[in-house]
Structure 1
């Protein structure tokens, strides 16, 4: 059983190219099944490292990652010749980073943030679904996951508030 996709579009990207490496979520986007979930999982170590930073530094890295993602995702899509291919998962990485802004450190909160983000990313309630369908390019690839991350952030912060 091959755990990596043999998709002809994914084969156009190279993990030695730094833009492709990031677009593929450090290689996790090459998963044959559920690349978005694997991309979100690939963000977990990054989030754990970032949680040691001040809120200001965490926020700056997240914002820079989001803006860089507009280019990273757009460039990878152009190189693949297809818009928003499932293997492009930098948007999921940034989505989890957004979800975990100001989250308490702890396994429970990380798992809840992960589940909330995947829920909003998969279900795509309005206006996420509309943005996903109507907005294109690198910005279009990123914006639905940015909004899913914001929805998940709100849900996580509500859970934190009501648990204390």
Structure 2
């Protein structure tokens, strides 16, 4: 496995079936234990590494299901919105919100999904993660 393929598939997680995107999101959930700052740093690292990996893999331009580093980056961004010590209910809610935004692709996620190359592959999930994070922050402020 090439380094770019290892990054794009998160070490092969993208080959799991069914629903490789959900597996790619699930694998980073333990990062919530590290707190929001660490999740934000990991999201940035996954985004940069993912953009590099997708750029290095010509087959990745069409965003095949086996690429899951984008899901990991978006999920980590959503987790960064959780306060330190958030319970597993909130982590589960972050997962559900992120996957909903990623699958349903409301605007601007749908817009980003149509962009070419690595930018489109990565940006739609980053926006889905940001939207999930914003929803989590709103729910927490509302007192849910």
TM-score where L is the length of structure 2: 0.88
Aligned partners of 1:97, 1:37: CA distance in 2, in Å? Answer: 13
CA deviations 1:16-73 (Å, max 9, x no partner) are x33212211232210232111111111213x23532xx72x54333223212221112
Alignment RMSD, CA only?
1.9
- Unaligned 5+ runs, structure 2: none
Aligned partners of 1:161, 1:18: CA distance in 2, in Å? Answer: 41
Larger Rg: 1
The residue that corresponds to 1:155 in the other structure is 135
- Unaligned 5+ runs, structure 1: 1-13
CA deviations 1:111-130 (Å, max 9, x no partner) are 00000000000000012112
Residues 20 and 72, structure 1, Cα contact 8 Å, conserved in 2: yes
Residues 9 and 67, structure 2, Cα contact 8 Å, conserved in 1: yes
TM-score where L is the length of structure 1: 0.78
1:31-50 to 2 correspondences below 5 Å? 31-45=16-30, 47-50=31-34
Q: Report how many residues are paired.
A: 142
Which runs of at least 4 in structure 1 moved beyond 4 Å after TM superposition? none
User: Please, which of 9, 20, 33 is the counterpart of residue 5 of structure 2?
Assistant: 20
